[in-house]
């Protein structure tokens, strides 16, 4: 007879380090390896529980006294653009979208470096070289795409690259793993446009959600995510409408986060079909 067994990954916790979102705080991550034949299934299941992918690792914040980071996603069917967002779509209507396999190019890296030097010169990725960039793009054990946006050119080979997004494909949506764009085109609001276009891609594919990563109340870096309608956050072990962003707080409290063992025990894992384990 055949048995259905749960996929049982090992979970680990990082050492505390400076929080990139809230000044003066320390962050800690709960993480597990993403590899093997069940990688896609594990990624789909854990992403619905607030995890994010970075290369071949799945992680979510698990800070000692802070629970401010909240995974966020847009309900595609209910999304309605604001007047400003409609203007952004119109402003970038000339861009050409090209979805490719996750393969890094020199043009992508050149744009990535310009973006980092202008926007995140003191960030954790500031020293990333072309080999590390290639690893970020190419080391993916699941269904991923690189979606490029280019301005019109005289020929297909002469279209300046304006924006790039590394995108994972879930069974219920698209996850925007990392995006970057030309800092000289600030007037186009390319960051917003890439999100809006991903909503359209998901709509065309019949996928219900676009995952945006973490929304952090009190963080100026992450505040823009709350401007999208039909936004849900993963809080208290379930997805819920964000409601009023001001209703969510980022205060420190020693009881705001459960012990690691309890967190792991509550993670729902997918089931994998095993081979023949026993006979009657």
**Helix 130-138 vs helix 106-119: crossing angle, to nearest 10:** 110
The Cβ-side half-sphere exposure at 166, using a 13 Å CA radius, reads 24
- List, for residues 94-115, the tens digit of each pLDDT value: 999 999 999 999 999 999 999 9
Residue 127's pLDDT is: 83
Strand residue runs (E) in the chain: 2-6, 11-13, 17-18, 26-27, 29-33, 52-54, 57-61, 70-75, 96-100, 144-150, 161-169, 173-181, 209-215, 231-235, 238-241, 271-276
DSSP count for the chain of H helices, then E strands: 6, 16
Domain ranges of the chain: 2-69+248-276, 73-247
Mean pLDDT for the stretch of residues 128-150 = 95
pTM of the predicted structure, to 2 decimals: 0.91
pLDDT at 280 over 50: no
- List, for residues 217-272, the tens digit of each pLDDT value: 989 889 999 999 999 999 989 999 999 998 998 888 777 788 999 999 999 999 87
Q: What is the mean pLDDT of the chain?
A: 90
CATH architecture of 73-247: 3-Layer(aba) Sandwich (3.40)
């Amino acid at each position: 007879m055949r048995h259905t067994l749960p996929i049982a990954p090992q979970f680990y916790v990082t050492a505390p380090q400076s929080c990139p979102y809230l000044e003066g705080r320390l962050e800690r991550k709960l993480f597990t390896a993403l590899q093997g034949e069940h990688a896609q299934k594990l990624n789909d299941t854990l992403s619905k529980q607030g995890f994010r992918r970075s290369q071949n690792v799945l992680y979510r914040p698990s800070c000692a006294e802070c629970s401010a980071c909240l995974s966020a996603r847009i309900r595609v069917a209910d999304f309605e653009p604001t007047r400003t967002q409609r203007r952004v779509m119109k402003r970038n209507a000339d861009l050409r979208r090209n979805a490719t396999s996750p393969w890094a190019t020199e043009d992508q890296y050149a744009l990535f470096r310009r973006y980092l030097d202008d926007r995140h010169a003191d960030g954790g990725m500031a020293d990333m070289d072309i080999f590390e960039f290639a690893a970020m793009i190419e080391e993916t054990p699941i269904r991923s795409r690189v979606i490029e946006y280019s301005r019109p050119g005289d020929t297909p080979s002469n279209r300046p690259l304006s924006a790039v997004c590394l995108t994972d494909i879930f069974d219920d949506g698209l996850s925007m793993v990392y995006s970057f764009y030309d800092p000289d085109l600030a007037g186009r609001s390319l960051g917003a446009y890439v999100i809006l276009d991903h909503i359209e891609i998901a709509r065309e594919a019949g996928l219900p959600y676009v995952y945006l990563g973490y929304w952090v109340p009190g963080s100026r870096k992450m505040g823009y995510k709350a401007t999208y309608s039909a936004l849900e956050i993963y809080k208290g072990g379930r997805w819920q409408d964000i409601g009023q962003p001001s209703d969510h707080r980022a205060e420190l409290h020693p009881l705001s986060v459960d012990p690691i063992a309890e967190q792991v025990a509550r993670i729902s894992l997918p089931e994998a079909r095993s081979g023949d384990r026993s006979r009657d």
